[in-house]
Amino acid sequence: MSKVGTLEELVDLVKPGMSISFGGFAHSLTPLAFVRELIRRDIRDLELIGIAEAWAADMLAGAGSLRKIVFSNFMFEGFGLCRNFSRVIETGAVEFEDYSHFALASRFSAAGLGLPFATVRSLLGSDLAGSDDGVQRVRHVDFTSPFGDERVMLLPAASPDVVVIHGHRGDEHGNVQILGATAVIEEQARAGKTVIATVEQFVDSAEIRATPNHTVVPGLLVSHIAEVPYGAHPTGMFRLYDADYDHIRQYAEASRDPAAFAAYLADVTTGDHQDYLARLGVRRLLNLRVDPHFGYHLERTESGWRA
Amino acid sequence: MTSKVATLSEAIGLIKDGDSVALGGHTLRRHPMAAAAEIVRQRKRDLHLIGWNSGIDFDLLVGAGCARIAETSYVGISGFGLARNFRRAAEAGSIEIREHSEISALDMFRAGASGMAFIASSVLMGTDVPATNPRIATVISPFDGKPYTAVQAAHPDVAIIHAHSADRHGNVQLDALHWPDNDADVFVGWAGKTTIVTVEQLVSDEAIREHPDFTILPRDAVTCVVEAPYGAYPCCCDDRYTYDLDFVGDYYAASADPAGFARYLDEWVFGLADHDAFLQKVGVDRLLAITTKGAL
Amino acid sequence: MTATTEELMVFAASQEIRDGNTVFVGTGLPMLAAYLARATHAPDVSLLFESGIVDPNPTHLALGVGDFRLMHGATSVRGLHYVLGLLQKGSIDVGFLGAAEVDRHGNINSTIIGGTYRHPGKRLPGSGGANDIASSAKSTVIMCLHRPERLVDRVRYVTSPGFLGGNDEREQSGLRIGGPRMIITDLAVLRFHPVTRDAYISSIHPGVDPATVIARTGFPIEVPSDVARTPAPDDTTIQLLRGMDPGGVYLRGR
Amino acid sequence: MAVALAPATTEEIMSVALSRQFRAREHAFIGLGTGDRAFIYAVGIPTVAAQLAADRGVDFCLQYGTLLDPSITGIPDSLGDPDLLDWECAARLPVERCLDVFRRGLMTCSFISGAQIDKFGNLNSVRIGREGPPKVRLTGPIAQADHAVFAQRTFVIMPHERRVFVDRVDFISAPGHGDGPGWRERQGLPGGGPDKVITDKAVLGFDAVSRRMTLDSVHPGVTVDEVVAATGFELLIPAGVGETPSPSAAELAAIRGRIDPTGKLLQARIK
């Protein structure tokens, strides 16, 4: 059976109530075409397990798609708070668990290795692993190493029902290649019960085999894959297109107010991804092109190039 | 170093009515189509078009009434057939055609690029071509007393080529050195008194300096550079994008008669403010469909 | 040429980096401090970013640790788990931390402002890598604004552990190494008593009135009459710094 | 067990006839024309002929436009420019070097065609109509003008029709033997000019003395009268004109099984 599907077919795999995790870090690599389609379908009651995919978290929080957020940090680097995310916690609309990056990444890593728990030193002494009314904030066990008196913290492995990643290119076998810093995508993909990939481009498998070092997630881990150009917009893809900072500013402004944000969501989820791109327009997409030397967008000024 | 970056409108504004204008590219490859459309948009007249293997670029300009002379070895729309606007103008006698073979056409650019007054060889002898073209004459070699064909150097008032990248100083690059027809564009570019280069992308100085051996025209050879993404569309652009044969087919159909072509011009050239508007009308989907799956 | 407050803070932070150190860097002033150290006295410093980027040589200023501008010239680009794993292994000499709220024992809160954990007045982004750095770097340098509501007796929520309740509480909790070395504010530099782990004023910035420092500290603190002044960067250093942030993205005071 | 093969097609007969013209060592130039019949004549038949000759041991260097010795088994689905970049070959020559191969006389043979040919083998791909604006404007001389000057021998491959085989072409875009004996020498043309004309009806050559076109052989099933009727000038017809040899079973098997299994070349099944 072919792993290749359309974006719509891939989103069909996500059911209400599932736990889900998205690849991405700050303003990069986030499968946001997938997220917009999730929101368009109004799939709710999801448990998001996330490290730094601020965009997925904030959009889904703002769309009311989430029942619970398990996370280590969501902020829009350079633009401040993720306001929808903050709002759903401040209003008590969702359950939540706080981790550090390493603690949560270690939970994914443990699941990927088939281990029952991760052993970390992070969270010792801090309030992250505290309790409220006798209930642990995060499931953990303070543990003394059997090889001495060293204290460590044990955290259960985390295996999301669905992990969705976005890559630079992939093939029909589900091999996914990603350039640049790949955040936690390797760990997430190994941890997921079902791994879904969207990629900027499909290429022939021979291309993949010629550059195996770029393959961050091998096809054996990926159950479904779709070609979705600009699938990370408004986040960027290193060496392909930069984050759309104008769009990010607009988003940050809209997210200050629930009504304005609802209007934003309605706009970006009208029609399918092709419609979304058509509304953005060719020039806007071209403006995100990267300089081939640096791999990110440069602005030309009278005196030279400005990042 | 002063910046040589210009808008397409500014660059094409350098062309005066009656100028000789050389266009790079060949068959359905890398013709400077965004520039050609802007020439039409600015309603230039009486141009003397010069090329070596011409196609939809010449046909568009001739069909729009911009040209008085067409000088090249071939005008056709590749697999589709004869260039219909060009053919109509030729048969109506509204355009003067100065014939070349491919070698003689390249020789005029090579001579122009390298400062030779002419290049003599055995091309075109015995053909009726020299009679059509004042640039071609017979010379008797003082060394062996034999006749040769002399092709006079071309120094077009304006030369326009489409390339892959350039920095703001005007250093122009192609993605690879050894694609077969690069050198023809190099000669065309060098030969111009004024040389306009449209590029897929303006890039940093560092990007150019990373592969200095890919620079086909140093800044001295270039008057201005213009960023025109998909600037060869609907022609192909090497490893960046392939041609849009559907678009070419529609063009070909529209060019079947003058009225149809006038509608084409209204819809695709005069009706659009600039190249950006053209791309927006073509649409993201269509551009993505022809874009090459890039190598990492 | 007079250094602005931000430039003074960055210079002070850069002085904490020794040549050959491995430094865990975040966005903003710490990033500039690390670049400055590398450009001056610590050419062999290695810089790590939680996004997985190892020792880049950026040409343009990055807006964050996930910014592609940080990718340029990196010696290695790995995952987040990989670089944070290096922390836990004990390979990081200095980690930089920002803080919405920090207390007299160097504990940091970057999770909530006001209210309780379950019902926060304002919810902040959360730990991210901060807790990991605070838990496992050999030493940390904290940078924050000197305001009574930010420099407090005890943080409302410990996102990133300092010395916890002081004395040897940090060690007792299982955190065997590390702890904050100093707090650099916009008014002063604070360090920690080796036994009690209480913060004290180590120096105040040039031109700052000791009374202001006392008034803007949210817990009782002394400023000795002979208190040292924080060393200011020379003109060359200031120029170097300004060249790193020509747009004044982080050095806003300019 | 012998396999019964369908009778040879006209294109197969033409290919085999052409293949027998080659010498021990050839550097042949094949243009990259596209479009149905023109493609079969300009690319398909020369390619098949060259392969058959190579099977017989002819040392063939084939040049397709700027590509040197591309792999024939890997002929792309389309000969458009982007596809040519992917066609495996020994070298992709800059077009300048490629045309210099002509100019230096390295090309032993080339294959050309046109809208008109006359009794001296002059070709026209520029215009129909001698004076004033053309009745029909054609594509232009392209590189054919160059091969016709420089190639040691050119092979003309044309459809045999009266309006194509004319007494005198309206415009010489690729020179043949001009107006007869000594003409090429007087013009200073280094190449040998047209050697054979292969049509869908016959194989024709040029008389060694008069340089006029002669009938060498008619294809199986074609009469001499039919050829004469399809020729718009007086053809020299030697006594006892024979029949073009039919392809052998081995040649047919090679064409259909190995050289052109999908009909790309001889049926223009190419994009």
Q: If pLDDT is split at 50, 70 and 90, which confidence band does D87 have?
A: confident
The tens digit of pLDDT for each residue in C82-123 reads: 889 888 888 899 999 999 899 999 999 999 999 999 999 999
Same-domain status, B74 and B215: yes
**Residue B255 identity (one-letter amino acid):** S
| Residues ≥6 apart with Cβ < 8 Å to D109 | D22, D26, D27, D28, D29, D151, D152, D153, D154, D155, D195
Q: Is A78 part of a structural domain of the chain?
A: yes
Domain count, chain B: 2
Q: Does B147 sit within 8 Å of D135, measured CB to CB?
A: no
Helix (H, G, I), strand (E, B) or coil at B99: strand
Tokens of B68: 């008085």
Same-domain status, B142 and B265: no
CA angle A204, A208, A212 (to 5 degrees): 175
Same-domain status, B176 and B51: yes
Q: Does B293 sit within 8 Å of A278, measured CB to CB?
A: no
CATH of the domain at C190: 3.40.1080.10
Q: Is C240 part of a structural domain of the chain?
A: yes
- The residue out of B152, B170, B189 marking a domain boundary is B152
The tens digit of pLDDT for each residue in C23-34 reads: 999 888 999 999
Position D41 scores a pLDDT of: 92
Q: Are B35 and B8 in contact (CB under 8 A)?
A: yes
CA torsion sign for A284, A289, A294, A298 is: negative
Note whether A127 contacts C: Cβ–Cβ < 8 A.
Answer: yes
CATH of the domain at A212: 3.40.1080.10
Q: Are A7 and A198 in contact (CB under 8 A)?
A: yes
The DSSP result for chain A, as a single string, is ---B--HHHHHTT--TT-EEEE--BTTBS--HHHHHHHHHHT--SEEEEESS-HHHHHHHHHTT-EEEEEES--EETTTEE-HHHHHHHHTT-SEEEE-BHHHHHHHHHHHHTT-SEEEESTTTTSSTT-EETTEESS--EEEE-TTSS-EEEEEE----SEEEEEEEEE-TT--EE--S--TTHHHHHHH-SEEEEEEEEE--HHHHHH-GGGEEE-GGG-SEEEE-TTTTTTSBBTTTB---HHHHHHHHHHTTSHHHHHHHHHHHTSS-HHHHHHHH-HHHHHTTBPPTTTSS--EEETTEEE-
Q: Which residues of D28-37 are buried (b: 16+ CB within 10 A; e: fewer)?
A: bbbbbbbeee
Q: Is D71 part of a structural domain of the chain?
A: yes
Q: Is A217 part of a structural domain of the chain?
A: yes
A29, A89, A101, best to mutate vs chain C, most C CBs in 10 Å? A101
| Residues ≥6 apart with Cβ < 8 Å to C59 | A294, A307, B206, C69, C72, C73
**Bridge-based pairing state of the strands A215-217 and D136-137:** unpaired
The tens digit of pLDDT for each residue in D93-130 reads: 777 777 777 777 788 999 999 999 999 999 999 999 99
C135, C175, C245, C249, best to mutate vs chain A, most A CBs in 10 Å? C135
Q: Does A177 sit within 8 Å of B293, measured CB to CB?
A: no
Domain count, chain D: 1
Cβ-based contacts under 8 A for chains A and C: 203
Residues 50-89 of A with CB under 8 A from C: 51-52, 71-75, 77-78, 81-82, 85-87, 89
Q: Is D1 part of a structural domain of the chain?
A: no
Q: If pLDDT is split at 50, 70 and 90, which confidence band does D62 have?
A: confident
Q: Is A178 part of a structural domain of the chain?
A: yes
Report for A109-123, C140-154, D47-61: range of highest mean pLDDT = C140-154
Residue D36: closest CA among D268, D260, D264: D268
- Distance, in Å, from the CA atom of B28 to the CA atom of D136, rounded to the nearest integer, reads 23
The DSSP result for C181-193, as a single string, is EEEE-SSEEEEE-
Question: What region, left, alpha or beta, does residue D10 occupy, with left being phi > 0 and alpha being psi -120 to 50 degrees?
Answer: alpha
Position B2 scores a pLDDT of: 66
**Stretch among A297-306, B58-67, C201-210, C228-237 having the lowest mean pLDDT:** A297-306
Q: How far is B277 from chain D (nearest CA, A)?
A: 26
Q: Is A29 part of a structural domain of the chain?
A: yes
Note whether A184 contacts C: Cβ–Cβ < 8 A.
Answer: yes
CATH of the domain at B282: 3.40.1080.10
- Distance, in Å, from the CA atom of D30 to the CA atom of D20, rounded to the nearest integer, reads 17
**Residue B98 identity (one-letter amino acid):** R
Question: What region, left, alpha or beta, does residue A55 occupy, with left being phi > 0 and alpha being psi -120 to 50 degrees?
Answer: alpha
- Distance, in Å, from the CA atom of D38 to the CA atom of D142, rounded to the nearest integer, reads 14
Q: Is B166 part of a structural domain of the chain?
A: yes
B125: containing domain: 102-152
- Arithmetic mean of pLDDT over chain C: 93
Residue C138 has pLDDT above 90, yes or no: yes
Same-domain status, B48 and B159: yes
Range D58-64 average pLDDT: 87
Task: Mark out the alpha helices in chain D (DSSP H runs).
Answer: 10-19, 36-39, 45-55, 81-84, 95-103, 144-150, 183-187, 224-229, 249-254
C-alpha pair distances (Å), A258 with each of A80, C126, C251: 17, 22, 33
Q: Does D95 sit within 8 Å of B236, measured CB to CB?
A: no
Bridge partners of D112, per DSSP, are D156
Q: Is C48 part of a structural domain of the chain?
A: yes
Position B294 scores a pLDDT of: 66
> Chains meeting D at 3+ CB pairs closer than 8 A?
B
- Single out the catalytic residue among C50, C101, C169, C171: C50
Residue B12 has pLDDT above 70, yes or no: yes
Which residues from chain B sit within 8 angstroms of residue A180, using beta carbons?
none
**Stretch among A66-70, B202-206, C183-187, D66-70 having the lowest mean pLDDT:** D66-70
Bridge partners of C40, per DSSP, are none
Note whether B99 contacts D: Cβ–Cβ < 8 A.
Answer: yes
Identify whether C222 is a catalytic site residue. Answer: no
The tens digit of pLDDT for each residue in B118-161 reads: 888 889 988 999 999 999 999 888 888 888 899 999 999 999 99
Q: Is A124 part of a structural domain of the chain?
A: no
The tens digit of pLDDT for each residue in D155-210 reads: 999 999 999 999 999 999 999 999 999 999 998 898 999 999 999 999 999 999 99
Position D5 scores a pLDDT of: 77
- The residue out of B152, B179, B213 marking a domain boundary is B152
Q: Is C154 part of a structural domain of the chain?
A: no
Position A305 scores a pLDDT of: 76
Position D4 scores a pLDDT of: 66
Q: How far is B40 from chain D (nearest CA, A)?
A: 23
Position C253 scores a pLDDT of: 60
Q: Are D153 and D107 in contact (CB under 8 A)?
A: no
Same-domain status, B185 and B264: yes
HEC readout, D185-228: HHHCCCCCCEEEEEECCEEEEECCCCCCEEEEEECCCCCHHHHH
Q: Which residue has the higher pLDDT, B239 or C216?
A: C216
Tokens of D169: 């072409």
**Bridge-based pairing state of the strands C22-25 and C94-98:** parallel
Q: Does B180 sit within 8 Å of D34, measured CB to CB?
A: no
Q: Are A90 and C120 in contact (CB under 8 A)?
A: yes
Helix (H, G, I), strand (E, B) or coil at B3: coil
C74: containing domain: 5-98+130-144+160-202+229-244
A96: containing domain: 7-100+159-286
> Percent of chain C beyond pLDDT 70?
99
Same-domain status, B44 and B88: yes
Q: Is D2 part of a structural domain of the chain?
A: no
Q: Are B86 and B49 in contact (CB under 8 A)?
A: no
Bridge partners of C83, per DSSP, are none
Position A151 scores a pLDDT of: 83
Domain count, chain C: 1
A211, A282, A285, A303, best to mutate vs chain B, most B CBs in 10 Å? A282
Same-domain status, B110 and B182: no
Position B178 scores a pLDDT of: 63
Domain count, chain A: 1
| Residues ≥6 apart with Cβ < 8 Å to A289 | A241, A242, A297, B201, B229
Same-domain status, B173 and B243: yes
- Distance, in Å, from the CA atom of A269 to the CA atom of A39, rounded to the nearest integer, reads 7
The tens digit of pLDDT for each residue in A113-135 reads: 888 889 898 899 899 999 998 99
Q: Is A141 part of a structural domain of the chain?
A: no
Q: Is D267 part of a structural domain of the chain?
A: no
The tens digit of pLDDT for each residue in A11-44 reads: 999 999 999 999 999 999 999 999 999 999 999 9
Q: If pLDDT is split at 50, 70 and 90, which confidence band does C59 have?
A: confident
Q: Give every residue of chain A whose pLDDT is below 70, as ranges.
A: 1
Q: If pLDDT is split at 50, 70 and 90, which confidence band does D1 have?
A: very low
Tokens of D179: 């107006």
Q: Does B106 sit within 8 Å of D96, measured CB to CB?
A: yes
Residue C254 has pLDDT above 60, yes or no: no
- Distance, in Å, from the CA atom of D115 to the CA atom of D42, rounded to the nearest integer, reads 13
D248: containing domain: 10-259
Position C233 scores a pLDDT of: 96
Residue D165 has φ and ψ, to the nearest 5°, of -90, 90
Range B242-261 average pLDDT: 97
Residue D82 has pLDDT above 90, yes or no: no
| Residues ≥6 apart with Cβ < 8 Å to B217 | B163, B170, B171, B172, B186, B189, B190, B195, B197
CATH of the domain at D216: 3.40.1080.10
Same-domain status, B94 and B213: yes
- The residue out of B137, B152, B167 marking a domain boundary is B152
Which residues from chain C sit within 8 angstroms of residue A106, using beta carbons?
81
- Arithmetic mean of pLDDT over chain A: 93
What chain B residue is nearest to D177 in terms of C-alpha separation?
B126
Q: Is C93 part of a structural domain of the chain?
A: yes
Q: Are D260 and D58 in contact (CB under 8 A)?
A: no
